[in-house]
Structure formats: structure tokens, C-alpha cells
Structure 1
Amino acid sequence: MTYPSVLPATFVSRPNRFVAQVLVDGTPVSVHVKNTGRCRELLRPGVRVWLTPGTTPGRKTPYDLIAVEKGERLINMDAQAPNQVFGEWARAGHFLPDLTLLQPEHRYGDSRFDFYWETPTRKGFVEVQGVTLEEDGGVYFPDAPTQRGIKHLHGLTHCLSQGYEAAVCFVIQMAQADFFAPNTRTHPAFGEALRQAAQAGVQVMAYTCAVTPDRLTMDRPVPIHL
């Protein structure tokens, strides 16, 4: 996926989950943060961030904050991007080569999964999670407790019992990662739910992305430590 007309800025503060204060060429500007997670290790005063113009007419924040530099790493932090890049990757034949249907936002039972897919002989669901938390080369999800994430893992397990295949794909929104692991320190229940889902047969995938200020593309798998 690509972003139009990106420009650099300097992060100043984050008054709430949705808004950040930045400096664009020294001028204070309020921008929309496209990630409601904590991201405290990323959004620190003085770091370089990247913006793209907002698309909603008449809104108060003229730009969206989409990426941040953490040392030498460029991390995309657009919470909507993982679904889009997974969809592009899957439609290009990298998920299943004989894919005949990839339907986003598909409801099944009491869950709405990110994707429903079909091949001539198989069918299943995929839940996509974006990963921005990095520590000492490892990457972790979630960065804050997520009951919704646990619910979807239980839902994927239920799909298996109904004859579907099921997978969860962790899209790592940066280029370098030694491994992926659930963030059991922040949310041990999510880690346990992920291990139970994997033991039941839910496929667990984790892929880094090629990242530039104006582009995000799924790249390569990394080891998974459950």
C-alpha cells in the first residue's frame, strides 16, 4: 500500500488517543493518530514522525500520523494498514496460490473476522493483527490488554470445529524482527489464548514488512515463540 504526499514532522505530545501535537517546519500542528494503542515507546518528544494528508473534508486535523522513527527503525503505526497489506499480499497469491475468494469483514457466529477465503477445495477465516511493539529485536502483541483479540482467537477455534480452516496473521509493521511472541507481560491471558488456539489447529503467522515513509508491503516470515 502507498500513501500520498508524505512529509516529516517532529512529535511533541499526545493529548489523547486520537490527536498528537507535532511541528511541521517549526509550526505547531494538530494531527490525527491512526493508532489508538498506547505506543508509549514510540511517540516520544522529539522523534521524527511521518504524516499524510487526511481524506475527510472539513476535519480539524489536516494530517494523519502514519509512521515514526525509533532509532534506525522506521515503524508504520497506521492501525488500518495491516488489513490492507495482508489483502494485497493474499490477492497476489502469497497466502494461497489457488485463492478464488477473499472477502473482508466477514461475520460468522458472534464474530466479525478480518477475512473469509475460499479455494476450489478449502475455505477459512483469517484474523489480522498489526504489531508495532519492539524490544531488543523481538516484537510483541498486544501493547495493551485486548479482550477483543481473545474473543477472536476463541472464534477462530470454533470455526475449526465447524469444518473451516483458521489463521491469525501478525503483520509486523517494521522491517527487522528476530522473532514474534505474545506479550504475556502485559496481557498473559492473550498469550494463553494464542497458545490454546495454536494447539487446536489455528495457524499462527508472523511477517515483517518492507517500510518506507510512503509505502508498506508484507515481506518475510519470522520465527514465532509461543
Structure 2
Amino acid sequence: MKYSNITKAKFINRPNRFIAEVEIEGKVEIVHVKNTGRCKEILIPGCEVWLHAPGTPGRKTKYDLVAARKQSGMLINIDSQAPNKVVKEWLEKQNYEKIIPEYTYGASRIDFYLERNILQEKTLMEVKGCTLEIDGMGYFPDAPTERGVKHIKELIKARKEGYRAVLAFVIQMDGIVEVRPNVDTHPEFGEALEKARKVGVEVLFLTCHVEPDSLEII
């Protein structure tokens, strides 16, 4: 997945979870933050950030903040829409005959419904983007996510009904190969994930290479 029109800037602050103030060539600009998570260990005043200008008519802000560099030097893609895009690109190389995004199942929209006829296999896959890194380990979520718990419960139900059920974590940074539940922030998510594993829901860790203008599953 590649962005066009990428601009480097300096992060100033984040008045709320939807917007941030950044500095571009000495000028302060209000930008949209494409991640409603906390990102508090990433978005620290003075850090380098990268902005995407989608050029959509009628927008209130010209730019979306899509990537940032932590104080450790690690570059992280924080675009919450990027994981589904890169997973779709990846799935198209995995010999599925049918790939349906945003599939309605039960009371939820599951990110992907997949079929591989040769294996008589029907799969429901939910995708989560991981941007939280602590001491070389990925964690999810970085803020409580009732929606995330709901999706796991739907995957448990699907598995019991005979589907192959998959929870895929897209690790939006280089060098991290595993994601653990952030039980300090949301214990219920960890409990749901453990129940899912026990009934056979598969958990995938999709490692990535990140550049300011791209995200790629490797």
C-alpha cells in the first residue's frame, strides 16, 4: 500500500483524538489524525510525522497524519485504515477464489469473508492494526475497544458453526513479530482472545515493512 503526496512535518500537540497541530516549514497546520487510539507514546511534541494529502473536495483539513517516528527511532504507520488495505493486497496473493470485504455476519461486519474451493474452506477474518510497542513487543489495544471484543465473540460463534475463523494483527512497524493482549488497558479483550484461541480461532501476526509513504506485509 503506497501513499502519494506525502509531506514531512513536526508534531506539536493533539487537542483531541481527531485532530493534531503540526508544523510544516515554520507554519502551523491543523491535520486529521487517522487513528482514534491514544498513541500517547508515539505522538510526543517535537516528533517527526508524515502527512498524506488525499485531495478530497470539501475537506476541513488538507492533510491526514499517517505515520510518526517514536523517540526510539522506530517508524510507525498509525493509519487505522491501512491494515485492511494491505491485508486485501496480501489476500489477493493467497489463492482465494472469493474475497468479500465488510461481510455481514451475525450482529457485526467482519472485515473479510474468504473461500478456497480446493480445501472446501470458508473463512471469516477480522483485522486489527497494532501500533503499540513496549520493549520490543507489540500490544493491542492501546485504548479500550468494546467493538474489538464484540468482533472476537463473533469469531468464536463462527468457529463453533464450522467456519475457519481468523484474527489477524497487522503490525504497523518493523522488527516486531508478536502481539499480546494489552490487559492492563482492557482486561476483557485479553479474556475474549483467550476464549477464542481455546475454541480454535486462529491468530495471525502479519509483520510489515514501513516507510513514510508505504506499508507492506512481508
Q: TM-score, normalised by structure 1?
A: 0.93
Tell me: CA distance 1:167–1:178, structure 2 relative to 1, closer, same or farther (3 Å).
closer
> CA-to-partner distance for each residue in 1:129-179, whole Å, 9 max, x for gaps?
000000110110000111111111110010112221100000010011153
Structure 1 unmatched ranges of 5 or more:
220-226
SS for the counterpart of 1:46 is coil
Question: Bigger CA drift: 147-156 or 53-62?
Answer: 53-62
Deviation at 1:56, TM superposition (A): 2.2
2:37 maps to 1:37: yes
C-alpha distance in structure 2 between counterparts of 1:179 and 1:163, whole Å: 27
The answer to whether structure 1 residue 109 and structure 2 residue 117 are counterparts is no
2-structure distance, mates of 1:178, 1:81: 18
Aligned twin of 1:128:
127
C-alpha distance in structure 1 between counterparts of 2:211 and 2:74, whole Å: 10
Q: Deviations over 1:173-226 (max 9, x none)?
A: 00111532110111111011001101100000112211001110012xxxxxxx
Q: Which residue type is aligned with residue 18 of structure 1?
A: F
Give the alignment of 1:59-138 within 5 angstroms. 59-70=59-70, 71-93=72-94, 98-120=95-117, 121-138=120-137
Q: Distance in 2 between matches of 1:178 and 1:213?
A: 20
RMSD value, Cα: 0.9
Aligned residues: percent identity?
51
8 A contact 1:31–1:65 mirrored in 2: yes
- 8 Å contact from structure 1 (residues 116, 126) kept in 2: yes
Structure-2 separation of matches of 1:47 and 1:41: 11
| C-alpha deviation, 1:20, in angstroms | 0.5
Aligned to 2:154: 155
Answer whether contact 1:19 1:30 (CA < 8 A) is retained: yes
Matches within 5 A, 1:39-58: 39-58=39-58
Distance in 1 of aligned mates of 2:34 and 2:106: 29
Establish whether residue 169 from structure 1 lines up as the match of residue 157 from structure 2.
no
Alignment partners' CA distance in 2, 1:31 and 1:204: 34
Normalised by the length of structure 2, the TM-score is: 0.96
The answer to whether the Cα contact below 8 Å between 2:171 and 2:177 also exists between their aligned partners in 1 is no
Residues in 2 aligned to 1:175 and 1:153: alpha-carbon distance in whole angstroms: 26
When structure 1 is superposed on structure 2, of 48-57 and 18-27 the one drifting more is 48-57
SS of the residue 2:207 aligns to: strand
- Which one-letter code corresponds to 2:81 in the other structure? Q
Match in the other structure for 1:207:
206
- Tell which deviates more after alignment, 6-15 or 49-58: 49-58
Distance 1:174 1:183 in 2: 17
**How many equivalent pairs are there?**
215
Unpaired stretches in structure 2, ≥5 consecutive residues: none
